[in-house]
Structure 1
Amino acid sequence: MIEILYDHIGVYNYETDQFENEAQKEEFAEQINNILRAYKEGYYLEPTNGFIMQIPNGALREQLEYDGSDLPDSVYEQLATATEMYYRFDANLEQKKKAINILADILESEREEVKDTLNAEYEVPKNEHDKLIFGIVNGYNIRHNRADQKNDYSKEIWYDWMMQYYTSVIIAFYKLKNKYTDIDF
C-alpha cells in the first residue's frame, strides 16, 4: 500500500497544467521512512525504485543508490528489476533466486568481453574470472537445475552474498569497459 501511494502521490499544477510529484515523493519518503525505521528490524522506502526494503548496510546502500551512469539502459533496467525483486520486503527465496539469475544472464550475454575486460585490469589466466563468476550460479542450483548441483546450503545467507557479488561484478565490468573503450552509455 505504501509503495502504491508513493507511485501515485503528487499535486496537479493548474498554472502549468501538469501533474507534479518529485517534491511530494521526496517528502512522502522522508516522512514514511521515519515510521518504517522503527518497525521490526527496520525498513525504508527506497526512493530510487520506490519499494520497501530492510535497511541495508552501507556498502549495499551504495549499490542500491547507484545511478547506472556506466551501464547501457537495457542493462540498468535488468539490474533495477533484479534489485527490486530481490530486496522487496516480501520476497521469497524463489524470487531471490530469479533475481540472481537475471544478474548472471546480464554477464552471460557479455561473457567473452567480461573475460577480456577483467583481464585487462588484473592479469590472471583468462578463464579464472569466468570460473569464479559462472561457477557459482551453475553449481548452486541458480541456473540449469541439474542433479549434480548443490542444493542443500543456507540459501538465505548465500543468496545475499550472490546478489551483492553479481551486482558488484556488473558495475565493475561496465566501469572498466568504459575506461578501456571510452564509451558513454
Structure 2
Amino acid sequence: MAKVPYSIRTGINPRTNGFDLKTTNGLFVRLYAQLDKEGYTHEHFGFWCVDMHDVKGKVVDVEFTALMTLRKPDLWPIADKAPGYSEDDLFDMIEFLFDHVSKPLSGNMHTYDQCGMHWETFDKGAGQREFRKRVNDLLALYEHRFELSADGLILRQTPSGFEQLLDATVPTDDKTITARVKAAVNEYRRHGASLDVRRHAVSDLAGVLEALRPKMAEAITSNDEKDLFNIANNFMIRHHNDRQKTAYEANLWLSWMFYVYLSTIHLILRRVELRKPKRNPGDLVFRERMER
C-alpha cells in the first residue's frame, strides 16, 4: 500500500479531500492519452501510421458514434473537449470508453520513422478490466466519491465497511431474485440518482423481501419481520397516502434502509442455503451406476 503523504495525513494539503472537477478532467485527458499510446483504443478507434496515415478502427466516425450514443455534442476529441467537461460529461465519456477499449495482444512493429506497433489481435474483457482499474484510481482522487463498476457503470462509491456486501454474489439460484437485487443496487448507486430514484430502489428490495417472507422465520424473529415491513409500508417507501410518515431526513434514512434490506436478503438466503440437506457424493455415484 502506498504511503499517504505527510501533508494529507496532517490535513494541511488543500487537496486532502480530493481534486476538483477541472483537475480531474485534466488527469482524464492524460489517462486517455496513455491508453491510446498503449493500444487500448486502436481496435475500435483506429490509429495513426506514418505510411497509411489515418487507419480506421471498428468505429469509423468516433465523434458521430459518441453523439448518437450519448446524445451530446462537443465531447470528442477528448484532448480538446475534456478540459471543459461537466461531471455528467466526464462520466458519460468514461462509460462510452469502457464499451470501446480492448487490450492489445499481438501485431507487427512498424519501425519506419519509429511509427510503432500495429496491433491486430485484442482482448476486450482484459482491456475493460485494466481500464476500470485505471479509471477507479483516478476517481479515487476526485473530491466526490464515485467508481466504475465491473459492468461499466459509474456508481456512487461504496461506503466503508459495506464493500463485501455489495460485491457478494446473491446466494440463490433464483435468477429473478438475483436480477431484481442487482437492478435495485445499480439504481440506488447510479450517478445522479434522485431521492425518488433511491426510494424506488429501496422499494424494490422490500419487494424481494416480500417474496422471501415465507422463509423469514428461518433467519429472523417475527418482531424483526414486522419492523421491516412497517418501515416499508408506512414511511413513504411503497405506498403514498395521507397515513404515511414523512417527518424524517430522507437522504440518511434511505441509506440506512437500503443496507438493512440488502443485508437481510443475504441473511435469509444464506440461512436457507445452510439448512438445505447436504448431498453425499457417494449417493450420486451410486445413483449414476444404477441408471446405467
User: Shorter-chain TM-score: what band?
Assistant: 0.7 to 0.9
Unpaired runs of 5+ residues, structure 1, are: none
CA contact 1:138–1:144 (8 Å) conserved in 2 = yes
Does the 8 A contact of 1:118 with 1:129 survive in 2? no
Report deviation, 1:23: 0.8
State the partner residue of 2:174: 72
8 Å contact from structure 2 (residues 180, 204) kept in 1: yes
Task: Return the offset for 1:179.
Answer: 0.8
- The alignment status of 1:51 with 2:143, answered yes or no, reads no
Q: Given the alignment of the two structures, is residue 107 of structure 1 paired with residue 199 of structure 2, yes or no?
A: no
| Cα drift, residue 13 of structure 1 | 8.2
Aligned residue among 208, 217, 226 for 1:131: 226
Identical residues among aligned pairs (%): 25
Higher helix share: 1
Deviation at 1:168, TM superposition (A): 0.1
List 4+ stretches of structure 1 deviating above 4 A. Answer: 11-14
Aligned length: 174
Q: Which amino acid letter does the alignment assign opposite residue 43 of structure 1? A: F
Counterpart position of 1:9: 101
Name the counterpart of 1:85: 187
Shift of 1:46: 2.1
Asked if the contact 2:235–2:244 (Cα under 8 Å) also holds between the matched residues in 1, the reply is yes
For the Cα contact (< 8 Å) 1:71–1:171, is it kept in 2?
A: no
CA RMSD of aligned residues (A): 2.5
Q: Deviation per CA, 1:4-30: give whole Å up to 9, x if none.
A: 32244336989xxx9742211110011
The reply to whether residue 178 of structure 1 matches residue 279 of structure 2 is no
Residue equivalent to 2:130: 27
CA contact (8 A) 2:202 2:237 kept: yes
Tell me if structure 1 keeps the 8 A contact 2:102–2:125: yes
Corresponding residue of 1:167:
262
Cα pair 2:171 2:266 within 8 Å, conserved:
no
2:243 to 124, 130, 148: 148
Question: Is contact 1:32-1:45 (8 Å) kept?
Answer: yes
Shift of 1:182: 4.3
> Structure 1, residues 130-165: CA drift from partner, whole Å, max 9, x if none?
212111111111012121111121111001111100
DSSP 3-state at the match of 1:153: coil
User: CA shift at 1:89, angstroms?
Assistant: 1.7
Q: Unpaired runs of 5+ in structure 2?
A: 1-91, 107-120, 279-292
Question: Is 1:62 the counterpart of 2:164 in the alignment?
Answer: yes
Do the aligned partners of residues 40 and 94 (structure 1) sit closer, same or farther apart at CA in structure 2, a change above 3 Å counting?
Answer: same
Q: Which has the larger radius of gyration?
A: 2
Larger RCO, structures 1/2 (Cα 8 Å, 6+ apart): 1
Give the CA deviation at 1:129: 2.5
1:42 aligns with 2:134: no
Instruction: Name the SS for the 1:63 alignment partner.
Output: helix
Counterpart amino acid of residue 66 in structure 1: A
Tell me the alpha carbon deviations over residues 70-116 of structure 1, each in whole angstroms, 9 at most, x when there is no partner.
452221111110011000121000110010011000111121221x2
- Alignment partner of 1:117 is 2:213: no
